[in-house]
Each structure stands twice: as C-alpha cells, then as structure tokens.
Amino acid sequence: MIGHDVKIQNKQRHTVKKILGGALAALLLSATAQADYSNNPGAEAFIKTMVEKHNFDREWVMAVLKQAEPKQSILDAMSRPAESVMTWGRYRNIFIQDSRVSQGVEFWKAHREELARAEKETGVPASMIVGIIGVETRFGRNMGSYRVVDALATLGFDFPRRSKFFLGQLEEYMLMVREQDIEPFSLKGSYAGAMGYGQFIPSSYRAYAVDFDGDGKIDIVNNTVDAIGSVANYFKRHGWRSGEPVVASVVLKEGADHSLFNAGLKPVKTVAQLKQAGIASDQKLAPEQKATAMKLDGEKGDEYWIGLQNFYVITRYNHSAMYAMAAYQLSQLIAAEMREATES
C-alpha cells in the first residue's frame, strides 16, 4: 500500500504541473477578479483532511482549489428550488410533455438491449430507468454546464447553510477523479454538482455507479450503458421491490383523517390502517403493505394518492413527492407509447 500511495502522489505532482503550467498564467491575469479558495478560512481543514485521511498531495489539492471559480448564479439557484415555489400541476408540466415522452421512446428503442438486461439483473423496470433519465437530463440533452469543481467549491465554502454537505461532496469528488483517473476540471454538471445522464452527486457516483458495459471504467457522463446500469443499481440498492406497485389512487371516505396526508415520505401506516382512517384505494393492495398518504395540488384540483415502498425508493433519488410522481408518471406514459409502437 505504501508503494501504491507513492505512485499516487507522484502522479498527482505530475498533474499539478499540468494544472499550474497551463492555467497559472490565466490565474495570475484574473487573480483580482476571482476568489482563491485555497486561501479560504475553511480551506486548511479541508486540505488537511485530503492529505492526512486520503494521502493526497497537498500541492494538488491547493492547485484544484486555486482554479475553482465562485459562481453567484449557483448560490442564486440554490435559494429557489422548483418544489418550494410550484404547485404539483405546474411542476408536472415542466417534466411531462409530448416531446419528452417521444424522446423517451427513442431512447428506449436505441438502448433496448441494455435496458432489458438492467431490468433482468436488478428487477427495476426499464420504464422507470428511462423515466428517471428523462426527468433528470432529458435523456442526456441537459446534463449541466457548470464545472463540478466550481459548483462544489462555491457551495462548500460560500453557502454556510449546507457547507458541511458540499465540502463532503468535494471530498468525494476528489476521491472519485483519483479512482477513475479523470482530469478534475473536465467534468460538468448541475449547479449542485450532479453529473451524467442520471445526475449522480459524487458520493452516489462512488457508491452506486457501475461499469455496466464491462470496459473496465465507470463513466455515467459519456457512456449511456453505464448510466442505465447505474440508475438501476441505485434503485436496487435502495430497496426496489420487483413487480410491486408504486402508487395507487385514493377513494376518500366520509370523515377521512386528512392529518395523515403529506405526513412524510416514508411509508409508516399499513394500507389497512389508512383504510380504517377513511383513505382507501380502488386498486387491490395487500392490507399489510406499508404506505403513505399524499395530497397534491393538481391543475384540476387536489389529487389524493397512496405511495408504496417503490414510491419511497424513487424519493431516495430526490427527496420530493412531486419529483417521484413526475418521474413515475413519465415512465408510464413512455411505456404506454412503447407498447403502442410495438403493437402497431
């Protein structure tokens, strides 16, 4: 392990020369116009962690932090997530349109074999994988324009409310690029540092991304096959139950206990308990199955739903009932179009 660590440090020193050699002039020219995160009050503790805990070369870490650029637009975006200002009706219309459904069908047809293999190996339906990639990046069309380093440094050092989380993601990112032998400034993603077709944050990349095509490298940014397998693996690892339903519509009984709606994403009550409280479904569900009751403000009025275990799994991807419902409904519309295309 010592020899391996020395090789890592030697390689990092060579990378430092490339980083500083090609960019030092630009850094000097723009020094007055941008912050130097290597001099940030919180930088020394971060650098120490990378060096002492993970055996990084100090110069390499400092070089990366020197080149990371603060982005005010990222801080602005973090202050206004869509879910906090939109009704379900408006939110749904962002992600569910005829064009996105058609693009989903095209994506499914182009990757039919890989999606079928992912479903067979993980139990996660091809439709759900396609739905997630459709919501996240419109099937790879919108994977983000911010350098991941810039996003994570900006939020780690300049966004106190979630600084700890994003410095943790910056730590994970540096580990990730070392493990995958990726140039640290080459990857672009969302304003929150999420990457690739499925928009994995660095910790998710390291924990759940897989080499699904067997080429010896995990790449969810440029390799659609790895992206498909990685989304499926994420769902499997979070407890997806093959063949079980995701949501069920609700038939409200007189005197229903409305306090049970939107009480939390995790299924806690059983279907039988919800039924006793006047929240029943017109679909056949196992009475002992755990569920959660949801009320969403749709375009045509309030919608009442029961979310089951698989719905909860979708919310592990993004902790929002509206997100999970949009991804699921998109998946079902795409699946319906696929069936129609196959039958015609």
Catalytic residues: 136
Non-local CB neighbours of 91 within 8 Å, separated by 6+ positions: 82, 83, 322, 326
Alpha carbon distance 157, 167 (integer Å): 7
Give me the sign of the Cα torsion angle 290, 296, 299, 300: positive
Q: Is 189 helix (H, G, I), strand (E, B) or coil?
A: strand
Token reading at 279: 């929240």
* H or E stretch at 30: none
* H or E stretch at 307: strand 301-307
Q: Is 232 helix (H, G, I), strand (E, B) or coil?
A: helix
CB 149 within 8 A of CB 173: yes
Q: Is 286 helix (H, G, I), strand (E, B) or coil?
A: coil
* H or E stretch at 273: helix 271-276
Give me the sign of the Cα torsion angle 160, 162, 163, 164: positive
Helices (H) then strands (E): counts for the chain: 17, 7
Alpha carbon distance 340, 344 (integer Å): 6
Angle (deg, nearest 10), helices 321-343 and 309-317: 110
Q: What angle do CA 168, 171, 172 make, to 5 degrees?
A: 90
CB count in 10 Å sphere of residue 203: 16
